[in-house]
Structure 1
Amino acid sequence: MKILFSAVFKPGTEAPGKDGPVMLSQAAELSSLGFFQRSTAKEVFVMFSRQFAKASTEPGQRSSVRKDGYMSHVYHSPMGVVAVCFADDEYPQRVAFGYLSKVCEDFVLAVPQSRGDCGTADLPHEALFAAKHQELLVKFQDPGQADQLTQIMAELEKTKLVLHETIEAALERGCKIETLINKSNDLSGSSKMFFKTAKKQNQCCTFM
């Protein structure tokens, strides 16, 4: 059981050329993937997390997307940020949302100016939170230990949860994965080629 990637976004913003909100922080633990898969995997996580954050418009809402044995979880915090993580299908959903809540809480405490204008470039305050974000990601690799955060869990039970069975259902209405991939500036040319090849073989995102 593991969390591979997480990111924090500022809702209501637009990152130039990214077709989605500004990314405020990110952390990754991709050691379980092959060395040559990690770069593409991270780009894919960034792209989809940005789109899921863009589609999350209701403060307090939680949503999950299931794909090929993996889950992405999205939490729109009332504190003014949206957090997204990608975990394997065995990772407890409740703990995943506890992680996202903790990330949001600690981020706003560490970067109080994020409540206001954060600019338009990705990672404007990364130096203030990068180490803490990575520390939380490592800590939550053990869901049993992390589940001690009962107060956070209790608060999360009061929020709305939406489970999406397909990625398309979690994206903005009418948005197709192929279109998103083709126009994404979060993906390199090699990653876009990976998707096209995987689609032909009906194995899209099997590295996730």
Structure 2
Amino acid sequence: MASNVVYHKIEELPGVIPVFPLRAALLLPRGEMPLNVFEPRYLALIDDAIRNQRIVGMIQPDPESGEDEERPALVRIGCAGRLTAFAETGDGRYLVTLTGVARFRVVEELSVITPYRQVRAAFDDFIADLAPGEGQDDVDREALLKTLKDYLAANNLEADWDGIRRAPNEALVNALAMMSPFGPREKQALLEAADLKSRAEILVAVTEMDLARAKGDASSSLQ
């Protein structure tokens, strides 16, 4: 979903952003994440974001953080998205879409009176995220498509191959990464990849390991 605002410089992004911690969630630059928002604290977050710069940080709870489910520690890197779609459901929920803008590093979590959490965010390490298509010519598209075919075949899934063939490398890599069924650590590795080529390579490697593990489990069950 296209945004009406295009960010050209890191300085255009807010230094303090609200964050939405969500396990195994992955938002990437120019990727789209639909959210069904129903908790009061996140309804308040959306209300305030709409009144301000419409920027929300998606971030994972730290998988090593322990058992504090109400306020888990956060990983150090997330992705800021802009609210590009909003609808009320009539039963107290919001249906929203976040379109990824750029990754950020958490400098510190702030002490705030809002029911949702806020962090001081540094975008300096991720300036390249603002450039559409940056590094996509370096992606091994054939390896990516082969792995995708193998995964679909192993799981008896269909795909829109016409749409896949038309998709630019950036859109393809990021959409597949965001839709992948992997866990928090794999999702975080995909987020933190140095560039698009590295992200594609991680996606291929993780998918191949998953396929090999599934094949090994199937062989064991037949013995």
TM-score, scaled to structure 2: 0.28
By relative contact order (CA 8 Å, sep 6+), the higher-ranking structure is: 1
Larger Rg: 2
TM-score, scaled to structure 1: 0.29
